[in-house]
Amino acid sequence: MAKAKKLPSGSWRVQVSIGEKDENGKYKYISITAPTEKEANLLALEYELKRTQKPTDITLAEAMKKYIENKSNVLSPSTIRGYNIIYRNSLKSIMRMKLNKLTDNIIQSAVNDEAVNHSPKTVKNIYGLLSAVLNLYDISNLKLKIRLPQRKKKIATVLSDNQISVLLQAIENNSVEIPVLFAIWLGMRMSEICGLQWDSVNFDNGILTIKQAKVRNTNGELVVKTTKTYFSTRDLSIPKFILSKLQKLSHDSDFVVNTTGTMIYKRFKRILKQNNLPDISFHDLRMMNASIMLKLKIPDKYAMDRGGWNTPGVMKNIYQQLFDEERNVVDTTVDNYFESLLSHGLSHEK
């Protein structure tokens, strides 16, 4: 299939055959345009799948497998790995059914079965792939109005200032010092930390460029890919404290951090336990970075740029959490307000 080409306007265009010929015997093409190369190629793949296969001829398993195969070159290796796990292990009751035999009730039943043993988030991911596959085909008896299990609100643990101080002291000269500093100070993802190479660290101007990540592919192998999203590619100013730490590291390898995410996670957990700190995940450090920016009243525009978030909704609803001491101040302020009103009322009664 043809690949997207960049237009003078900055958009990307792919020309895709519609499978028909004109009066001169030449194939007809349509143009698919999108803001990015990745989006253009994805839209072209979806059009090709929809044009060449009919819901009467293909089972859900066949359609899903084809969908994954066609997107393996344009989606993240970790995303494809997740898709393949769903393909192998989920929706067993409907995988062998022809697409035109599926109904909303049948799909709802299959989703309900998945909800028995999986979290709401996992069920949402399973249904996300299923609906993406089904939306490629014109299935007249499907409305896809499926009810998913209600998402459970996660009460995240945010370290206090004192606990953050204890953590920073505990990691000093430890093998996880740089990864933890990258996460809690600069808001980097684990995949970005593991994928960071020395050519992305400019010691002269103190700028760190995040342009790639290291993730596991379908075979479980670690591979380097582009950042998670378009907005994840960003430049960060390196604090002098971290810069001095980086200058002391060995530069023998291409990568700044020469260990796997799994090992970083295990060592990080050990440090938490040894220092009687709350049992948080490594990714919670990135969340705390967002929460600290909220506490410091950093404007959304700059907070989003530092963290590589596309929309303020994701940053605010998922990553920015409230510090207990700050929340206590808010609670006390509100309580004082109403108590003053009560006192004012009592004084009038007298």
Give the pLDDT confidence of 57-97 residue by residue, as tens digits.
789 999 999 899 888 877 888 889 999 999 999 999 999 99
Selection from 218, 226, 247, 267 nearest residue 84 by Cα: 218
What is the token pair recorded at 73?
Answer: 């070159």
Q: What is the pLDDT of residue 24?
A: 73
Q: What is the spatial distance between Cα 14 and Cα 91, in angstroms, rounded to a whole number? A: 34
Lateral strand order in the sheet of 201-202:
201-202, 207-210, 234-237
Confidence of residue 28 (pLDDT cuts 50, 70, 90): confident
Specify the DSSP element, H or E, that contains 209: strand 207-210
What is the token pair recorded at 275?
Answer: 């220092």
Q: What is the spatial distance between Cα 232 and Cα 210, in angstroms, rounded to a whole number? A: 7
Report CA 103 to chain centroid distance, whole Å.
31
Report CA 232 to chain centroid distance, whole Å.
10
- Residue 19: what are its φ and ψ, rounded to 5°? 80, 10
Confidence of residue 327 (pLDDT cuts 50, 70, 90): low
What is the token pair recorded at 109?
Answer: 């039943």
DSSP 98: B
Q: What is the mean pLDDT of the chain?
A: 84
Q: What is the spatial distance between Cα 296 and Cα 301, in angstroms, rounded to a whole number? A: 14
Q: What is the spatial distance between Cα 199 and Cα 23, in angstroms, rounded to a whole number? A: 55
Q: Which CATH class is domain 161-325?
A: mainly alpha
Give the pLDDT confidence of 221-242 residue by residue, as tens digits.
888 888 777 778 888 888 888 9
Give the pLDDT confidence of 259-270 residue by residue, as tens digits.
999 999 999 999
Specify the DSSP element, H or E, that contains 80: helix 77-89
Give the pLDDT confidence of 31-66 residue by residue, as tens digits.
888 888 878 888 887 777 777 777 777 899 999 998
> Is residue 7 a contact partner of residue 13, using CB atoms and an 8 Å limit?
yes
Q: Where are the CATH 1.10.443.10 domain residues in the chain? A: 161-325
